[in-house]
Structure 1
Amino acid sequence: MELDYKVVFAKRKTLTITVERDRSVVVTAPEGTSLEKVRQVVESRKLWLYEKTRHAQKYNPLPHAPGKELVTGESLLYLGRQYRIELVDDSNHIQFAQKFLVPRSVASKPSLFRTWLMARAEEKILPRVAIHAKNLGVEYKEAKIGDGKYRWGSCTPNDNVIFNWRLIKAPMFVIDYVVVHELAHLIEQNHTPRFWNIVKAQAPTMEKAKMWLQSFGNLLEQDI
């Protein structure tokens, strides 16, 4: 059986293979690598790739909850918990006080709430990147919040780390796991036993975080 995969060439020294959440396979190879060399590496990992792309718990799509509406009584996921929405008249800004106080003028514009969530992601996730990088003894060029479709985080060949803004909906121990996971790639590019030992040492709740993402990751994918 043929295995479909996408090849991306980048300025890096090693070749890596990634299975995305949509089951697609991406091979990132050093510039100048021949397609035949890529094919040989993929062939050598074919059994592992078939196992990964058919992993029911991690990759089978879970039913998505109905889209959320910004109405009083609705609840939204934030830092691992559901918080109630309350529409208010006397404000122009979204506020959080163990519930979401949403101006009625914003209620019909979900994109404004998404902007608010992205700002909270920058505020709460990026400082964790700095802390964990210091603890791991690694340096990155830039850390930023992005809108990746299939990844919670990524570490680029240029040593930038990017995190999906939707992570702000997850508990902090999950955020910490994703942050440490990407920073660990600055030490070990592939998912070797050494890599996982590094991650687990810095994020001891790694297995709990992975299970949370497997169970509830689909809920994070909603825009609000």
Structure 2
Amino acid sequence: MELNYKTIFAKRKTLTITVERDRSIVVTAPEGTAPEKIRQLVESRKLWLYEKTRHVQKYDPLPHPPGKELVTGESLPYLGRLYRIELVEGDGEIRFEQKFIVPRAHAGQSPAFRAWFIAQAEEKILPRVASHARNLGVAYKEAKIGQGKYRWGSCTPQDNVILNWRLIKAPMFVIDYVVVHELAHLIEQNHTPRFWNIVRSQAPGMDKAKAWLQKNGALLEQEL
């Protein structure tokens, strides 16, 4: 069986291999690594990669398709809870007051809500990165909110931490788990037992968070 994979070269010391949620395989390698060495790594993990890429579904399916129209009575997830939408007259900004107050001018316009979610993610998630980094004793170059779909977060070879804006829909203990997970890669690049011990020490709700993502990940991936 031949496995297709993408190779990213970066200034780092070790080879790592990951399977994205779209089942694509990505190998990150030190600059100048011989293609044969990369191929040997993929070959050595072939059984594991086969199981990962043939996994039936990463997340539990949704019980029913979520509504995407911004109409009164519809609800959207925010920080782990569903809140009702209420349309009001006017064309001002979206507001949150234990429900979403949406000017009627934005009705049916999901980009406006997406922009609101991204702004909230920047305000509420990025400070968590700084806080957890201090607790872990690590330093990153930049933390930012990203718009990719197939990762909740990533720690780049340049020590930048990127977190998916969709996380703002999840409870804070899930957000903290993803943040700590990515920061732990600044200490241990691979998912070794040491890596998971580091994550668990800073995110004691790790198992609960992983179970929550298993159950609700498909909901988070919706645009709204």
* Partner residue in 2 for 1:117: 117
Counterpart of 1:172 in structure 2 is 172
Counterpart in the other structure of 1:70: 70
> What is the CA–CA distance in structure 1 between the aligned matches of 2:211 and 2:56, rounded to whole Å?
13
Q: Give distance in 1, aligned partners of 2:118 and 2:150.
A: 17
1:209 alignment partner in structure 2: 209
User: Per-residue CA shift, 1:94-142, capped at 9, x if unaligned?
Assistant: 1111100000011132111110110000011001101100000001000
| 1:55 to partner: Cα distance | 3.5
Is contact 2:90-2:105 (8 Å) kept?
A: no
TM-score by length of 2: 0.95
Tell me the SS of whatever aligns to 1:179. Answer: helix
In structure 2, the partner of 1:3 is: 3
What secondary structure is seen at the aligned counterpart in 2 of 1:162?
A: strand
Q: Deviations over 1:7-48 (max 9, x none)?
A: 111221111101111111111111111111101011111122
State percent identity of aligned pairs. Answer: 77
Q: Residue 33 of structure 1 aligns to a residue in which SS?
A: coil
Correspondence 1:1-224 to 2 at 5 A: 1-56=1-56, 59=58, 62-63=61-62, 65-89=65-89, 92-224=92-224
> Residues 205, 151 of structure 1: CA spacing in aligned structure 2 closer, same or farther, 3 A cutoff?
same
The separation in 2 between residues aligned to 1:4 and 1:91, in whole angstroms, is 49
Give, in angstroms, the shift of residue 219 of structure 1. 0.5
- Between the aligned partners of 1:156 and 1:102, the Cα distance in structure 2 is 36
Counterpart residue type for residue 32 of structure 1: G
Name the SS of the counterpart of 1:209 in structure 2: helix
Distance, in Å, in 1 between the alignment partners of 2:34 and 2:181 is 29
Counterparts in 2 of 1:212 and 1:124: CA distance versus 1, 3 Å? same
CA deviations on 1:142-176 (whole Å, 9 max, x unpaired) are 00001012100000111000000000001111000
Residues in 1 aligned to 2:131 and 2:30: alpha-carbon distance in whole angstroms: 30
Higher mean C-alpha displacement, 21-30 vs 88-97: 88-97
1:65 and 1:33 map into 2 onto residues whose CA distance is: 45
The alignment of Structure 1 onto Structure 2 pairs a total of residues equal to: 223
Structure 2 unaligned residues grouped into runs of 5+: none
Question: Which ranges in structure 1 are unaligned for 5 or more consecutive residues?
Answer: none
SS at match of 2:125: helix
The alpha carbon displacement at 1:67 in A equals 4.3
Deviation digits for residues 191-212 of structure 1 (CA, Å, limit 9, x no counterpart): 0100000000100010111111
Shift of 1:50: 2.1
TM-score by length of 1: 0.95
Paired residue secondary structure (1:223): coil
- Whether the aligned pair in 1 keeps the contact of 2:79 and 2:172 (CA below 8 Å) is yes
Aligned 8 A contact 1:67 1:222 in 2: no
